[in-house]
Structure 1
Amino acid sequence: MPTLLPAETLLLEGPDATAFAQAQFSSAVNSLATGHWQFSAWLDPQGRVRALFHLARLADERYLLLLRGGDAAEMTDALRRFVFRAKLAVTALPPRALATGPALSLHAVIDDGESVSLGGDTHSLRIGAVGAGDDAWRLMQLHAGWPWLPTPLLGELLPPALSLHRLQAVAIDKGCYPGQEIVARLHFRGGHKRHLHRVTLSQATTAGNALHRDGRMVGCVLDVVAMNDGSEALVVLADDIAAQLSDAHSQPFDDDLALGIVTSWPA
């Protein structure tokens, strides 16, 4: 049985919750309506993604963060260092089950008091569902190119590598936030040479693993879903290596791993 991913969540609550989130996170928080969610990220000053999450506005002054990798308690402790005199409470919630729910409009949020459902169009992601949860949602989100950040990759990747502009998780035209200068430079000047791909794999691997070719580190694995006839994964690859992968399971990597690109996404 695969290990099910828990829901690592935290709450931002108080009169200054919106202003705090707008100043710290990379998305356009001010435009997020109550009852909706958006992708967002918390970047370090060098622009690297230290946390990626669904940001759901449950009420005017109440936000729920569902982390796509990482530990809610650790992020809560780190965020509290920036609260200062703001009228704001940052609270880590106990890990809960994640389960696949029925189809719900993309970015819609339903909070019934016991669980929260985040709309993914073809499905919903239920936080706090009764029971042990499931991971059927993972393949649908992998196909959509929704990254998940395993622990070894927290604080290692820049937004273009995760296609965060496509997911509207980074805003170019909002005020300052950590890493904003790097985000703007990469957006307007380009030059980043690693991007996101959905791939098939010839053998099992683990999320967080590095990908090597002739001894050179050329990418990393974000998420893996085992299938009956192999595995599918989201990976970040160097652009020159991705350009060489024209057929499925071509161009072996080190350790005899073969990889075929199914879909590629821009920054």
Structure 2
Amino acid sequence: MWTRLPSSALRVTGADRTDFVHGQMTGDLRGAPTPGVVPCAFLNVRGQIEQFAYAYKRPDDIYLHLGAGEAQALAARLKRYIIFDQVELHDLSDTLRTVHVWQQDVPGWDAAGPAAQQWTLGGSLVLGGRVGRGAEGGVDLHYLARDEQAVLEALGGEERPLSELSALRVAAGLPDVLADDFVGALPQEVGLDVGGPLTAISYRKGCYVGQEIMARIEARGQTRFHLARLLGTGLPSHTDIHQGERVVGRTGQSADGAVLARLRREIADGDTVQVGGVQATVQWIPHA
């Protein structure tokens, strides 16, 4: 089974590409293997998320896979920091397509191999990344739009709607920064911290925009908000959460009787809250 992912993409080339991108993102790109894939966020000076991406480190370039419509904003941000760096940015949003294959049964994919792999499928060059989106295992498969028919025919299997994949993601407690509208939150508030369901930050790498705030949070040990799952019938997406008269958080994308939420830490597991007039039960997402 596979699902089409609304996507955009940047390709970063040039001699300084790895050091340049590494110095902008929260993940440790420099320490990743080649090939490798690193989930990461790009922050503002207050440590709040502006974009989320999966960064693929390849021998000749860095490929940044983002949500739909995100590449242009990230390119504009990155261009502001190019001074003497030998770096070039290429927006591939119109030329690439991405599907998520629910299990690691992609023809040509080595389930025991590295997290990022490149091979030929249906006569076309494809890039795969081991990316968790709710299904057990799972591979993001990237290919040229012009080769889509040949790639999908060679892939085989059944296409499933994005809503079904989203339900699996929410049930697994995996945040999606764009779909859940977590832009503007701190990474630690929405499950992107070390030990969270989607680790996208390193506290041991060099400086980057927002790094000082991340260091302060690491020293303090926690934030006021944390990632939770709310359970209930008909829960609305992107809606304020109330406990009594007080706003205590906001929901992400609702899917199949559950919704992820950025919620105040003092709310107890099993507590009842209100979302747009609908009652919901709090279930905290475990953090290692």
TM-score, with length taken from structure 1: 0.82
* Pairing of 1:1-267 with structure 2 (within 5 A): 5-57=5-57, 59-68=58-67, 71-94=70-93, 96-103=97-104, 104=111, 108-112=115-119, 114-120=125-131, 122-128=137-143, 130=149, 134-135=161-162, 136-150=164-178, 153=181, 155-164=183-192, 165-166=194-195, 167-206=198-237, 208-226=238-256, 231-241=257-267, 243=268, 245-246=269-270, 251-266=272-287
User: Can you list the C-alpha shifts for 1:11-52, whole angstroms capped at 9, x where unaligned?
Assistant: 112211110011111111111111221211111111111112
1:126-145: per-residue Cα shift (whole Å, max 9, x none)?
A: 23465687425434433443
TM-aligned CA distance change 1:145 to 1:127, over 3 Å? farther
Paired amino acid for 1:205: P
List runs of 5+ in structure 1 lacking aligned partners.
none
Residue identity opposite 1:122 in structure 2? G
Q: Distance in 1 between the 2:33 and 2:218 partners? A: 26
2:78 partner SS:
helix
Could you tell me which runs of 5 or more consecutive residues in structure 2 were left unpaired when the two chains were aligned. Answer: 105-110, 153-158
Inter-partner Cα distance in structure 2 for 1:83 and 1:46: 21
Q: Give the direction of change, closer, same or farther, for the CA distance of 1:13–1:137 in structure 2 (3 Å limit).
A: farther
Distance 1:111 1:196, change over 3 A: same
How far does residue 106 in structure 1 lie from its aligned partner after superposition?
9.4
Cα contact 2:28–2:205 (8 A) shared by 1: yes
Q: How high is the sequence identity, in percent, across the aligned residues?
A: 21
How far residue 184 of structure 1 moved from its aligned partner, in angstroms, is: 0.9
User: What is the alpha-carbon distance in structure 1 between the residues aligned to residue 127 and residue 9 of structure 2?
Assistant: 11
Asked if 2 retains the 8 angstrom alpha-carbon contact of 1:27 and 1:170, the reply is: yes
RMSD of aligned alpha carbons: 2.9
Of 77-86 and 154-163, deviating more is 154-163
State the Cα distance separating 1:214 from its structure 2 match.
3.6
Structure 2 counterpart of 1:63, one-letter code:
I
Q: Aligned pair in 2 of structure 1 residues 139, 153: CA closer, same or farther (>3 Å)?
A: closer
CA contact (8 A) 2:55 2:62 kept: yes
**Contact between 2:102 and 2:137, CA under 8 Å: does it hold in 1?**
no
Q: Which TM-score applies when normalising by structure 2?
A: 0.76
Q: Which amino acid aligns with 2:89?
A: V
Q: Distance in 2 between matches of 1:70 and 1:251?
A: 36
CA-CA distance at 1:194 after TM superposition: 0.5
Conserved in 1, the CA contact under 8 Å of 2:273 and 2:281?
no
CA spacing shift, 1:61–1:201, aligned 2, 3 Å: farther
SS in structure 1 at match of 2:272: coil
Matched-pair contact (CA < 8 Å) for 2:179–2:252: no
Q: Distance in 1 between matches of 2:280 and 2:183?
A: 25
Relative to structure 1, is the Cα distance of residues 49 and 197 closer, same or farther in structure 2, using a 3 angstrom cutoff? same
| CA distance 1:105–1:182, shift in 2 (3 Å) | farther
